[in-house]
Amino acid sequence: MAKEPDEMASDLISIYKSKRKETRKGYFSLTVCDFKLIAGKEKLKAAYLNSVDSYLREDGYIIINLRDERDLIAIMRIETVKKIFNKPDEQLLLKYIPNEDEDEW
């Protein structure tokens, strides 16, 4: 039987927490096939994935959807994303900000 998006989000959070206990890093990825098996779905529609992601975000988690590129769906805490991905140095950013004197498209 197919799981509702909130049930699937809850299961993914449980997997995250179990993995965190074992490895100290809870983030993980699933193949699309494994995601569908856990969800009880034959097909994985974008609307379903977006709904699961919305429920995850309410609890501080996020889906990283790589199903088209790598056949993967990753689950992470939003705080982990903030820690891993650092903002570039301000001098580097300034290098790429358009000059007001340059023509616009």
For 10, the domain range is: 5-90
**Which residue carries 């974008």 as its tokens?**
46
Q: Are 48 and 63 in contact (CB under 8 A)?
A: no
Q: Is 105 within a domain?
A: no
**CA gap 34, 32 in Å, rounded:** 5
SS3 75: strand
Domain count, the chain: 1
Q: Is 33 within a domain?
A: yes
Q: Is 101 within a domain?
A: no
Q: Is 103 within a domain?
A: no
**What's the whole-model pTM score?**
0.82
- Output the tens digit of pLDDT for each of the chain's 105 residues: 899 999 999 999 999 999 988 888 889 999 999 999 999 999 999 999 999 999 999 999 999 999 999 999 999 999 998 888 888 888 998 888 887 765 655
